[in-house]
Amino acid sequence: MKPPTAECRDYAVLLVAYGTPNRLEDVEPYLLDVRGGRPTSPALVAELTHRYAAIGGHSPLLERTREQASALATSLGGEIPVYVGMRHWHPYIGDVLAEIRAAGHRRLVAVPLAPHYSRLSIGAYRRKIDEARDGVALGMVSAWFDHPRFLDAVAEKIEGGLRRFEFDARDQVPIIFTAHSLPHRILADGDPYPGQLAASIAGVLRRVGNRPARLAYQSAGRSDEPWLGPDAAEVLAELAAARAPNVLLCPIGFVSDHLEVLYDVDIEYQALARRLGIRLERTESLNSSPLLIEALADLVRATAQATEWP
């Protein structure tokens, strides 16, 4: 059968993200889900509960994702339903797929709200979807790290961030691009994650002009195995040692406000920067940036058009 034309409308869209507890009381069961049923130490539960409390009691990830879904539905003309599913908390991907089937949809375009592919992240979303789609035909977006509108959206936020610095200093402000760290073992499997991050950064720098820039990782997991580095804290210390007075941090691996941005960057890294004597600014999260929504709409249309639906 030929792939559908650009006018094909008989499919639904599923935006998938990691998930986050909605209340402080949900932190422990959320961690149980993340850890595949393995118990979590009381100390780790207490620490994560403290972090959520410090950003207002919960992460806004679900709200921001629903806002993105609403904006995407509008961009697609209001005729294609856009659902939201989470990997590790409500609304779970499996539950949302049951809702999609009950609504009569038999074709689905799934878009992970993470631009860079790793088998540990995007691959895990795909497995969750495959476990639950039960005959629903799938077109899956695996990576969109080099989509021009995504790169434009990040560049726009960088330009806004640089405007917070004095005019004469802007050209010299180094940028730390950050993404979620993953276990170092992914490199042995040829995982494309670091290379895709580097490609995104190069694409953004072509838009904002070459300037000092580094890729760093943040929010590494609590395990004994090595994780990808350097950590952004190490890079901040290096820049302080080099007497850089100003730094702009761009969390390029994340597209929404959530714990890793609002706590790890806005609280922990800001406190470190003050101790180091550095002025640290962060780019605004993309959230429902019109440029990001353009990128998502284009990805959905292109995937639907290229998919050989049964």
> Which domain covers residue 296, as residue numbers?
12-143+289-306
99 and 166 belong to one structural domain: no
Structure tokens belonging to residue 172: 């010299």
How far apart CA 242 and CA 27 sit, in angstroms, is 40
Is pLDDT of 8 > 70?
no
278 and 152 belong to one structural domain: yes
Is pLDDT of 173 > 90?
yes
29 cis-preceded (ω within 30 degrees of 0): no
Between the CA atoms of 22, 123, 11 and 310, what dihedral angle is there, to the nearest 10 degrees?
-150
| Backbone angles phi and psi of 37, in degrees to 5 | 90, -5
CATH number for position 137: 3.40.50.1400
Is pLDDT of 97 > 50?
yes
Give tens-digit pLDDT for 28-61: 999 999 999 999 999 999 999 999 999 999 999 9
Q: Which residue has the tokens 């599913």?
A: 85
How far apart CA 266 and CA 187 sit, in angstroms, is 29
- 3 domain-assigned: no
43 and 129 belong to one structural domain: yes
Structure tokens belonging to residue 284: 């605004």
For residue 244, give the 3-state DSSP assignment.
Answer: coil
pLDDT at 240: 98
pLDDT at 2: 38
Give tens-digit pLDDT for 134-168: 999 999 999 999 999 999 999 999 999 999 999 99
260 close to 222: Cβ distance less than 8 angstroms: no
Give tens-digit pLDDT for 276-294: 999 999 999 999 999 999 9
pTM above 0.85, yes or no: yes
173 and 228 belong to one structural domain: yes
pLDDT at 309: 87
Per the structure, how many domains does the chain have? 2
